[in-house]
Amino acid sequence: SIYEMFGNECCLSTGEIIKIIGFKINKLIASICENNEVSRFSAKVELPLNFPGLYKVVADKTPYVSIEEITRKVSIGPTRFGHPCFYSPEDIKLANLTIKHGEQITFNSVEEVNGTMAVNCGVVRNNQSHSFTLPLSQEGKFYECEDDQIYTLKEIAEWKIPKCRNRIVKLSNTLHMWDSSNPLPENFDGCLILTPVYEVQAVMKFRKDIVHILSDLDVEVKDITDCYDISSFLQPLSLEDVFERTSKEFPMVAEIMEGPSGSQKPYNLLHIGKEIVIYKKYQAARVLASEIRSDSPKRHFLIPMSYKGKFKRRPREFPTAYDLELARSEKEQLHVVATKAFDSPHKELFSVSVGDQFLVQQCQTSEVLYEGRKKVIDVLACEQILSDTYKKVFLPMYMEGGFVEVIHDKKQYQLSEICKEFRLPFNVKVSVRDLSVEEDVLAAVPGLQFEEEITDSYLLISSTNSPVESWEIPVYRLNMLVHLLSRDVQTVVPPVTKTTVEEISEEQYYMVRRYENQTLHPPPRPPKKPT
């Protein structure tokens, strides 16, 4: 059988032995959904996995009838997506714990316990986590829990579509302007039913790349797993698989089976057949930064702490008095100019005109007269700058106005200094570019906002044939498959490490912020007007 694979002819000869290593969703067929059913007026459209947008998953109303069915159809794994949640409408009585009906059960991993396959699970009660196992033989009705996270289509395809089922999703954010090439209706914000189209991933005896076979290919095969030594085939590993290895197994030599796309170093060096040394795995700090511009789309960057350029401050903008309080620091007094007028409803508080200048002092309380009654509200104490003096005034914390910062600091800062001395978000521009790299992508950006400091997972790699420098590659943003070679590493100590500024897409930006903020409490909102 001869077929075309990504523009190349591929031949499956009679008697050829193929090792199936996985099934992967190749694309999605989407239909507009109404009341959990396909709309009568909806045409089916084909969506590639990189179709832009963020989506919420709608919980499947069809129950699973056993734990074994869940493990067979739902992705459960070590990554942050691989922990699905279910509930049972009936109590589940275990030896030392009773799972109450409706209680959210998190499925963490599948493993053998005392000779029986089981799922490691957990429930949270009163902020305390309780772990237990459920055998695959456990029967009952198990329903998906509601999921308030947002996902890209690619993430949904990889982790959130159970085998042999469709998936309903709700569009959360389009992330791009609608145009005529968009297969979805203009201003669409409803639900879609996604039907997956699969491809088979396989390795062949005498090929070093992954073969992708469309699931509708007309070819007859026979299962010979029980009578063939499958250890003679290559074992592909994703970067996540490599990262899950113990630290003692590093360094290791690997050959790339599928490489990433991209012209930026080091991605342009990571092509199929390239041999690399993977020295170690670790967590590294980055500063998440976005281009300052009023229109979209903005560019987003992850900046390593080793960045050698220098920055000068740029004025920050504050929409409310409450934001002034959040930005206030002990290091220096915050000086702002009002860009929007505000008429105070209380004579005890100050009315602001455009152009008024203030030095922000501190938050305190003040008594005001409201509809004949005295009320205590939060206010921001400031000094208004007049021509020859200062006047103490109070601004209501709920005030929606507009302020822009006046910068007196002309110093040039390293990235590490800014993270240490100032509270993020923080506005800057590059004043001295990083001379250690050929092209500093940040130097051409007129203004940057440092949003937050994050921690991400990386592998340190170098080329085996010319290990003059090593590179950090991100584990969760790089699609790459390797297989390990049974060779000793010549140089255990990695060469000089090159870290690069990574430009990330809009979807990746939302994902990075989502993961980072999962452990943080949302910021308090500004006080409302007294009622």
400-405 and 335-338: which strand pairing?
Answer: antiparallel
Count of helices and strands (H, E) across the chain: 6, 34
Look up residue 42 and give its DSSP letter: P
Q: Which residues have C-beta within 8 Å of that of residue 224, sequence separation ≥ 6?
A: 17
Q: What is the pLDDT of residue 144?
A: 94
* pLDDT tens digits, 64-107: 999 999 999 998 876 677 889 999 999 999 888 899 999 999 99
pLDDT of residue 52: 78
What are the chain's domains?
Answer: 1-59+147-234 (no CATH), 61-145 (2.30.30), 236-306+416-517 (no CATH), 317-405 (2.30.30.40)
Whole-number pLDDT of residue 176: 54
Q: In this structure, are residues 335 and 396 in contact, taking their beta carbons and an 8 Å threshold? A: no
Residue written as token pair 């300052």: 292
Show the CA angle centred on residue 209, arms to residues 204 and 214, nearest 5°: 70
Across the 531 residues of the chain, what is the mean pLDDT of every consecutive 10-residue run?
Answer: 51 79 84 70 78 87 94 83 91 90 92 87 89 92 91 86 89 61 72 88 74 77 81 81 87 89 73 90 93 84 94 90 84 90 83 92 83 82 91 85 89 92 89 89 92 91 84 89 83 80 86 57 48 53
Q: Locate 142 and state its tokens.
A: 């198990």
What's the token pair of residue 467?
A: 């290990």
Integer-rounded Cα Rg, in Å, for the chain is 28
Rounded to whole angstroms, how far apart are CA atoms 445 and 429?
A: 7
Q: Which amino acid is at 245?
A: R
> How confident is the model at residue 298, as a pLDDT?
87
The structure's pTM equals 0.67
The identity of residue 324, as a single letter, is L
